Structure 1
Amino acid sequence: MSKIAILNQELIELDKKHFLHPTSAIQQQQTQGPAFIFTKGEGVYLEDVNGNRVIDGMSSLWNVNIGHGRKELGQAAMEQMNKLAFSSCFATFSNEPVIRLAAKIAEITPGNLSATFFTSGGSEANDTAYKLARHYWILKGQPKKKKIISRSRSYHGVAMGATSATGLKPFRDFTNSLAPDFYHVDNLSAQALREVIEAEGPETIAAFVAEPVQGAGGVHIGSKDYFKEVREICNHYNILLITDEVITGFGRTGRAFGIEHYGVTPDMMCFAKGVTSGYAQLGGVVFSEPIYEGFKELSVGTLLHGYTYSGHPMACAVALKNIEIIENENLIDNAQKMGEEMLNGFKWVQTERNLVGEVRGLGLMGAVEIESNQFSQGPLAPLIVNEAARRGLICRSVVFDGMDTLVFAPPLIINKQEIDSMIEILNDSINTIEQKL
């Protein structure tokens, strides 16, 4: 047995014995071991311990926006860690990277969004938004405004508040004690939001939260007027609008932030993932100027909310370099152009393969629906994902709420040739599954 094979077997056994994987099938991992053990990333490619090279058609978890192996981010991290690896931001302490990043985010976010509270990731960002929205209404003398409304097929994370807001029922069913005062409405109907507000009483509603494009729920895109209608409803009933840009932020949709497609500014905006392209753990909530002014004018004493790593100097330094690369390399424009190429490719596959139903996309977020309801063996998208991985492409299946869908979100650096390779593998993978039916 070769040294590589021995190493691989050792890692597989250690993985099975000691590593509880997030969002993974436990029994599958225990019997088969990890699907891949990656050792290297370069551009849009990942390479495993056996030397297999695959296109990362999901940017790992929708987050490696500038691609793998960017030494500039490692250099930024090293330089910052050599100067100041960590210092607390509690008790008004600060550091230069977090100050400059907060200013940069205020510059690139839409409208009057102006001040950022930093977290370690997207779930923390969402929980922070809900908690501070409720605190805002307490400061305003309206403590009954505490209910949070979100959408069906939404995903907002796995912290307790984020789980409760998530509109994918299996995530909520995973626990037997959800946080109270969370409600869900139809994901594409502004009228459904109005009806729930009126039924519950606007005086009890703190905020409505929505992803500009629903990601983990299947890449669902609202009508061009949906968010304008939502903004008007929130204004009318004095309810805060929170947009969850954890996936859609920092260029993913062909705009800096997904909500910019709709000409709307939220009161709060959650972000994570693409802010560092996954090279460091960082997230946050950006507040509009009126909300931030409300906190400053009405707060007495200490803001009793914060995480150990809020404003982590190394993570903020990495984020600044990441945003610089996105801007200097025109990756937002590339996401828009390559997103059109990807969607055109999906439409071609749609004409070639009988299993393909609706296809959709915005920027470098895309979905291909699989018409498997006529087959008794269950969803087919997971089988296609496995076949695509064998052929050199990572994508993801969504099988919640009757959906049987493939989703894609490649790095923003992807080029036409790499898009074509993705589409070819996708088409061949679906064809292979079709032939087995």
Structure 2
Amino acid sequence: MILLLKNLVELDQKHFIHPTSSIQQQQQEGPAFIFEKGDGIYLTDTKGDTYIDAMSALWNVNIGHGRTELAEVAKDQMENLAFSSAFSTFSHEPAILLAEKIASIAPDSLNAVFFTSGGSESNDTSFKLARHYWKVKGEPKRRKIISRKKAYHGVAAASTSATGIPQFWDMAGTFTPDFVHAETPYEKSTAEAIDSMRQVIEQEGPETIAAFIAEPVQGAGGVIIPPNDYFQEIRKLCDEYDILFIADEIITGFGRTGEMFGVENWEVEPDLMTFAKGVTSGYLPFGGVIVSDEIHETLKEKSTGTLFHGFTYSGHPTASAVALKNIEIIENEKLRENARHMGERLLKGFQRIKADANIVGEVRTLGLLGAIELVKDPATNERFPADWKVAANAIQALYDQGVICRPVTFDSTDIICFAPPLIINEAQVDTLVARVHDAVLAVEKEIG
């Protein structure tokens, strides 16, 4: 096993370029973990060590690891029809039934689905559909997309441009024009954030703007939960200027926030809604865009010829079958409700950690999305110097405690993000909180 592990590390360093990773660190230290088994909320690596997966891998393993039901569905579908194209109006039962199912659980006015292979493709698709909608309505100048600072919408060409985290632009620059960024409601009131967006609209010219896109909860930006009135005011502003509202539900969809879709927490209906991740709980790559009846009817009436947009794996039969089973499990096991209740328990645990530690600022959860901010002075929210690498040290302390989490260090923040599988129970939440408590106190002691 030792020889095998050594060979795996060497092969990893030689052949595997990791996404969103340090190439230098990989070459110097090898992979941080090589996992070989997942079971429920746990991951086990090749050394035999088991960890609580407090991030659901990449915010996506909603029903937990090792669900044989999905493997059985995939096997059955592969034996019957593993793949079939959806181009040229070709179709198949799994995609048809999945589109119907998603329409039934989405907000009332969203009933037609375009399928993709993942989140970046979904957001790129939403931008193209929004622009196409305005073009066929006779307003081709409406091309601009308003996003927000700290937003993450993916790494394809357009979705990178929509992403509001400059580090993602530094690698190769932004790729497409007509993307602008307004303020996000992080350490700002609803009024300030809405005023920023209004200024952007007026400066760019409302007649040039196709859509506004927002994550209901900003994930990679630091689990930023908006004020209760924020999205209601966003909806009013979009209606005032006749701008389409795109809800990026790639992280927040399929029960993660305690509702089937995150935007439902504020009783707001978008015009388009993008999804991925939790639709299959990560068991197969998949995603899509749900559009409103008004958009769909306009496209049916005014769009002529071929819609020249699509992906090889749009509506993949096996992925569609897995998604249908995954949604069935979320509903049958009442995982939305569990996310809501376990999220409340997790928040109480975070609040106890804050009471015991001197380096914890704001703590927050919405369903099973949560964050702990580490600050030098909780009273003033003074941040640690960037070279202290407090979040990185906290992540290592959590690894030592057997917990996998994710740090956010953009804009001088030290935020630890949490998104455990929706199947987590009370005892597991309490164990997670206890380990986080010990890790935070260890970091505090190290800082002195």
Output the TM-score relative to the length of structure 2.
0.96
Structure 1 residue 310 corresponds to structure 2 residue 320 = no
Aligned mates of 2:3, 2:389 — CA distance in 1 = 36
Aligned mates of 1:301, 1:106 — CA distance in 2 = 25
Asked if 2 retains the 8 angstrom alpha-carbon contact of 1:168 and 1:401, the reply is no
Structure 1 residue 261 corresponds to structure 2 residue 265 = yes
Match of 1:69 among 66, 71, 77: 66
Structure 1 residue 425 corresponds to structure 2 residue 422 = no
Aligned mates of 1:352, 1:394 — CA distance in 2 = 22
Cα separation, partners in 2 of 1:109 and 1:177, compared to 1, 3 Å = closer
Match of 1:195 among 196, 199, 205: 199
Cα deviation, residue 361, structure 1: 1.1
Identity of aligned residues (%): 57
2:265 partner letter: H
Choose 269-278 or 364-373, whichever is displaced more. 364-373
- Which structure 1 residue ranges, 4+ long, deviate > 2 Å from structure 2? 372-379
Choose 188-197 or 24-33, whichever is displaced more. 188-197
Residues 42-95 of structure 1, C-alpha deviations (whole Å, 9 max, x = no match): 000000011100000000000000000000000000000000000000000001
Corresponding position of 2:33: 36
Cα deviation, residue 378, structure 1: 2.5
- 1:114-263 maps to which residues of 2 (within 5 A)? 114-188=111-185, 189-263=193-267
Corresponding position of 1:58: 55
Structure 1 residue 391 corresponds to structure 2 residue 391 = no
Corresponding position of 2:99: 102
2:72 partner letter: Q
**Which ranges in structure 1 are unaligned for 5 or more consecutive residues?**
none
Structure 1 residue 7 corresponds to structure 2 residue 16 = no
Cα deviation, residue 427, structure 1: 1.0
Aligned mates of 1:308, 1:40 — CA distance in 2 = 30
Asked if 2 retains the 8 angstrom alpha-carbon contact of 1:125 and 1:283, the reply is yes
Corresponding position of 2:188: none
SS at match of 1:220: coil
Residues 109-148 of structure 1, C-alpha deviations (whole Å, 9 max, x = no match): 0121000000000000000001111111110110000000
SS at match of 1:214: coil
Task: Please give the root-mean-square deviation of Cα atoms over the aligned residues, in Å.
Answer: 0.9
Match of 1:286 among 290, 296, 309: 290
Structure 1 residue 329 corresponds to structure 2 residue 349 = no
1:383 partner letter: N
Cα deviation, residue 377, structure 1: 3.6
Structure 1 residue 49 corresponds to structure 2 residue 46 = yes
Cα separation, partners in 2 of 1:303 and 1:374, compared to 1, 3 Å = closer
Q: How many residues align?
A: 434
Corresponding position of 1:18: 15
Residues 395-434 of structure 1, C-alpha deviations (whole Å, 9 max, x = no match): 1100012211000000000001111111111111111111
Aligned mates of 1:9, 1:190 — CA distance in 2 = 54
Cα separation, partners in 2 of 1:363 and 1:180, compared to 1, 3 Å = same
Asked if 2 retains the 8 angstrom alpha-carbon contact of 1:63 and 1:247, the reply is yes
Aligned mates of 1:429, 1:120 — CA distance in 2 = 37
Cα separation, partners in 2 of 1:221 and 1:376, compared to 1, 3 Å = closer
Aligned mates of 1:374, 1:85 — CA distance in 2 = 52
Aligned mates of 1:84, 1:32 — CA distance in 2 = 43
Corresponding position of 1:367: 371
Output the TM-score relative to the length of structure 1.
0.98
Asked if 1 retains the 8 angstrom alpha-carbon contact of 2:390 and 2:414, the reply is yes
